[in-house]
């Protein structure tokens, strides 16, 4: 079910490269944003299918790594751009919007 979490926001946003790419960074920033919203939601990481923030981030990044390996070069380029765009929009994303994507959609 965790792979669905990544797909809700990033599908089909996939990238490649050495070190952290924008999709890996997106996983980390989403985990941080979700962590800041959980108390307001009276929810826990278990409600999101994870043992904690780190577990959710790692699962998101692992899901991405598996998906990235199956992409064609052009798809990778598009994914990098999409992840970058999503990262720039994340700062303006409210807890209510994240709840709709990650908690209510479960």
Between CA 32 and CA 30 the distance in angstroms is 5
pLDDT for 19:
62
Predicted pLDDT at 14: 37
Tokens 């994914």 correspond to what residue?
79
Domain count, the chain: 1
Distance CA 9, CA 86 (A): 8
Mean pLDDT over residues 63-83, rounded?
92
Residue-level pLDDT at 5 = 47
Q: Which domain holds residue 53?
A: 2-10+19-102
- pLDDT tens, residue by residue, 10-64: 443 433 345 679 999 999 999 999 999 998 999 999 999 999 999 999 999 999 9
Angle at the Cα of 97 from the Cα atoms of 94 and 103, rounded to 5 degrees: 120
Candidates 17, 92, 47, 71; CA nearest to 55 is 47
Average pLDDT over every residue of 59-87: 93
| Neighbour-count burial of 69, counting CB atoms closer than 10 A to its CB (0-12 exposed, 13-18 middle, 19+ buried) | exposed
């Amino acid at each position: 079910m965790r792979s669905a979490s990544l797909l809700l926001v990033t599908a089909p946003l996939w990238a490649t490269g050495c070190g952290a790419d924008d999709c890996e960074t997106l996983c980390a920033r989403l985990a941080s944003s979700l962590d800041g919203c959980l108390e307001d939601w009276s929810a826990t990481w278990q409600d999101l299918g994870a043992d904690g923030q780190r577990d959710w981030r790692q699962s998101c990044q692992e899901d991405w790594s598996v998906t990235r390996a199956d992409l064609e070069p052009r798809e990778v380029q598009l994914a990098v751009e999409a992840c970058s765009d999503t990262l720039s929009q994340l700062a303006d994303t409210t807890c209510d919007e994240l709840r709709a994507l990650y908690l209510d959609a479960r």
